[in-house]
Amino acid sequence: MNWHIQEGMGIYLSTPKTEKFSEDGENGRLRYGLSSMQGWRATMEDAHAAYPDLDGTTSFFGVYDGHGGKVVAKFCAKYLHQQVLKHEAYASGDISTSVQKAFFRMDEMMRGQRGWRELAILGDKINKFTGMIEGLIWSPRSGDANDHVDNWAFEEGPHSDFSGPTSGSTACVAVIRNNQLLVANAGDSRCVISRKGQKNVASFMQAYNLSRDHKPELEAERERILKAGGFIHAGRVNGSLNLARAIGDMEFKQNKFLPAEKQIVTASPDINIVELCDDDDFIVLACDGIWDCMSSQQLVDFVHEQLNSESKLSTVCERVLDRCLAPSTAGGEGCDNMTMILVQFNKPGESKASTESSSPSELAGVDPKSEETESKQ
């Protein structure tokens, strides 16, 4: 994230950190690979989650791009998928509602004493002696055997009035169950699907965005920001944040007369649901450190080229990161933290889903809110 209006060289390293965290996994429905790299940035503020078997029938993947610090991204990577499972809507099969509520739940959980303590631990600040003592004194009562995350707000302590973190994070997640793919997004991380298309006679793999980058200049975002009492200067909310939606960033969510979805900056995700079919090959979830350097179609093309000679998906992700890394910090692009998850679908023998269920034309001009409405009917 480009957090400061003018970025001085102080936020960059003299040489990039090119060590990568990579991982691969699979189940009967799909396989995935991921890789993340700090790059030129002084700190690593990206986080991710990959659970191919979230509950036996569902797979969950998420990328979280922090700004102003790493803690909110790490908090989301630790808890957001858990909250999807906990919501009553999930048990009834309404994944869309459970995911939406999980996004809002992150902001709720980061407030108060317990939220402060968890953020302190994730930020490595609790290791100071006083912090350890304070954390021990104000830990939840151990007698509560049913200490669900839902009770966080009721823990008392010296930070009970903590309003939440001033830093924040994007969140872009993909939930896969059977032939259904749900993508939820807040911020400018992005999910793209590679689907077979036709150009003249030959078939080719077409990239379709399954999420929208939430920038302040978008009409719907601008309207909400202004109505909530905010302003946009130099393409940034209140002159500082270049995102219109994010988890955290509590300074932009202080209007007590407005619901969470109408605050200057909101955690409300766009939700897009599509039916997977035999023409679908893979999806990519990535933070904007990738999308600043490659368009959706360029990335899909590059991945297909790599898959011709490389079967290990994390290696393909690593090659994308290496390709995007800038040779110097002079230009800005290619200097961000980078995280990418590549999920490839196993082809079923006969798929009931057809391309008519979510045609390429629908995907190309997707309206996440209308898709969500249709999915619930």
Please report whether residue 203 resides in a domain.
yes
Please report whether residue 70 resides in a domain.
yes
**Rounded distance between C-alpha atoms, residue 159 and residue 112, angstroms:** 6
**pLDDT of 371 above 50:** no
Amino acid of residue 29: R
Is 263 in contact with 228 (CB distance < 8 Å)? yes
Across residues 302-312, what is the average pLDDT?
A: 94
Please name every residue paired with 352 in a beta bridge, in sequence order, or none if there are none.
none
Across residues 243-262, what is the average pLDDT?
A: 96
In the numeric block, which tokens belong to residue 6? 């003018």
pLDDT tens, 328-369?
Answer: 988 879 999 999 999 999 875 433 333 333 444 345 445 433
Q: Give the other-Cβ count within 10 Å of 91's Cβ.
A: 10
Amino acid of residue 363: L
pLDDT tens, 266-277?
Answer: 999 999 999 999
**CATH number, domain with residue 174:** 3.60.40.10
Q: Which residues of the chain form beta strands (DSSP E)?
A: 12-26, 30-41, 46-51, 58-67, 168-169, 171-177, 180-186, 190-199, 202-209, 232-233, 236-237, 247-248, 270-275, 280-286, 338-345
- Residue 98 backbone dihedrals phi, psi, to 5 degrees: -65, -35
Please report whether residue 187 resides in a domain.
yes
Please report whether residue 152 resides in a domain.
no
List the domain range (segments joined by +) for residue 54: 17-111+163-347
Amino acid of residue 164: G
Please report whether residue 372 resides in a domain.
no
Please report whether residue 120 resides in a domain.
no
Q: What is the mean pLDDT of the chain?
A: 84
- Of 148, 138, 87, nearest to 112 by C-alpha is 138
* Total domains in the fold of the chain: 1
**Rounded distance between C-alpha atoms, residue 133 and residue 156, angstroms:** 15
Please report whether residue 363 resides in a domain.
no
Please name every residue paired with 30 in a beta bridge, in sequence order, or none if there are none.
345
What value, to the nearest 5°, has the Cα angle with vertex 240 and ends 239 and 243? 105
In the numeric block, which tokens belong to residue 278? 């035999």
Is 239 in contact with 233 (CB distance < 8 Å)? yes
Across residues 110-118, what is the average pLDDT?
A: 92
pLDDT band at 302 (very low <50, low <70, confident <90, very high): very high
